[in-house]
Structure 1
């Protein structure tokens, strides 16, 4: 936009001529002397061009700038609301989930970074997706698999992810849980962990059953994440795993020492 040489008017200094423009600073020569103004901000209240076409272009720039500022303010407000919500989140002691992935489900789970809660097998809700009422933004989904030919005691933890920060299990009607964009992790086969030792506080019978998921305590889930980060120590995944673990403990208000 060529503004140098254009006739301009100021509410106080009267008529003038634009003599220079350096990025967002406009220089104008008035009878009272040379003045500098922010561009295009000053056109919202003090300045106006004699050329109507250029004036309209500047108004369009102002509208675009104001729209960007408004969008940025909304993002800041949204982020503040998100942080306030997480700080006030009521923590339920057993609000974590562990999933049984069948062989044919593993590739899709890690490609889409999502899991299915399965379906009710009987009762009024038979055939409908199972709900996870306990899951909230503080929850993780631990992913496990028992390979064909292996005994149930050899079930392995193959990955884990946090749920999104706006997730509420009671509102998950389709039974699909998407992973958090950042806090998610897939273990290499050499780093996979045995699952059942983490449930030593439960009866010793190691049987999964027909359900797609079961609940875990927050402390048990934290121990799993701790061991996952230890398993990848010294690899390129170490820093990410440590951030994952620290985020989980912070959001669940846990101060642990394993």
Structure 2
């Protein structure tokens, strides 16, 4: 469906016209500026069109997506129920052992974001502060932050106000992956920003349900050795990605934990992970994600459980550890000590 030149109205930004649709995003030109939104999500309560035919078509598309998501959840629930039946009646059923990839868990490299910073979270739940925006654009020259399409860059140039920037994020508009990471509990593979494959969506071809997703970042002006974990969750929905859409992992389960700034800085990522080449060197290089094994996943969850002792999340952290070990058939007692790059 061609949406270009369709007139729309946003409940915050007023009247506008769609000037581009690319992958899962649309760009709308309002009176004074342009804004990018996630499609078709933004039409589910934030954006409306004057065309009743197009509105009805988009409504059907949203309903279709929701229906597919519900059907997928139902299938997963049925599979989980069947697994439980087989477990309870092992002598009556023949269990089929599925292939388990040795590096099925996933860690994401995230640009530092202090949006929503508090004693309970590092950020990643809102637009960055002005200082961090300047750091990501002017000093570290982060690829997306520095692109012309990024609303933060438009704000720094004076094209939009801080109020408009925050409103964009809070009302369904797209600012960046990081600004909504601990709100949506969703991590995406990303879009290639440079080179011959610029604009192409990236794929996630090894992660699976019941894998651990680890969210990492590092503070401004810090080294790669100081990269830390600020959140983890149990993956219960994955999408590998294709030529049109980037891959992603997300969760709706209760097994998701964000770390306070004090806790997060104790969870150095490179205590657990090491590169195959030069394992003693803490370097991420290219790519936004890394795969790692179950031993490292257990080590991470064990340390989080220790950090959460005496807090409201102590019970959840311990349950998360035991549940992850059980569903992935891991004997915690056999897991070795940490042997990441910082331990070499």
TM-score (norm. length: structure 1): 0.62
User: Which of 273, 281, 285 is equivalent to 1:205?
Assistant: 281
Note the aligned Cα RMSD (angstroms): 2.9
Which residue of structure 2 aligns with residue 17 of structure 1?
none
Which residue of structure 2 aligns with residue 136 of structure 1?
208
Larger Rg: 1
User: Which of 185, 199, 224 is equivalent to 1:127?
Assistant: 199
Distance apart, 1:181 and its partner CA? 2.5
**CA 1:76–1:215 in 2, change beyond 3 Å: closer, same or farther?**
closer
CA distance in 1, matches of 2:106, 2:299: 14
User: Which of 256, 269, 287 is equivalent to 1:184?
Assistant: 256
Distance apart, 1:135 and its partner CA? 0.9
Contact 1:96 1:218 in 2 (8 A): yes
Which residue of structure 2 aligns with residue 82 of structure 1?
80
CA distance in 2, matches of 1:133, 1:205: 26
CA distance in 2, matches of 1:208, 1:91: 25
TM-score (norm. length: structure 2): 0.47
Tell me which moved more, 170-179 or 245-254: 170-179
SS of structure 1 residue aligned to 2:80: helix
Distance apart, 1:82 and its partner CA? 2.5
User: Which of 214, 228, 238 is equivalent to 1:167?
Assistant: 238
Contact 1:103 1:147 in 2 (8 A): yes
CA distance in 1, matches of 2:222, 2:210: 33
SS of structure 1 residue aligned to 2:272: helix
Distance apart, 1:90 and its partner CA? 3.1
Task: Give the number of equivalent residue pairs.
Answer: 183
CA distance in 2, matches of 1:78, 1:201: 33
**CA 1:245–1:169 in 2, change beyond 3 Å: closer, same or farther?**
farther
Distance apart, 1:186 and its partner CA? 0.1
Distance apart, 1:249 and its partner CA? 0.9
CA distance in 1, matches of 2:311, 2:98: 34
Contact 1:159 1:185 in 2 (8 A): yes
Unaligned 5+ runs, structure 1? 1-74
Distance apart, 1:129 and its partner CA? 2.2
Distance apart, 1:194 and its partner CA? 0.9
Greater share of strand residues, 1 or 2? Answer: 1
CA distance in 2, matches of 1:116, 1:78: 21
Which residue of structure 2 aligns with residue 231 of structure 1?
307
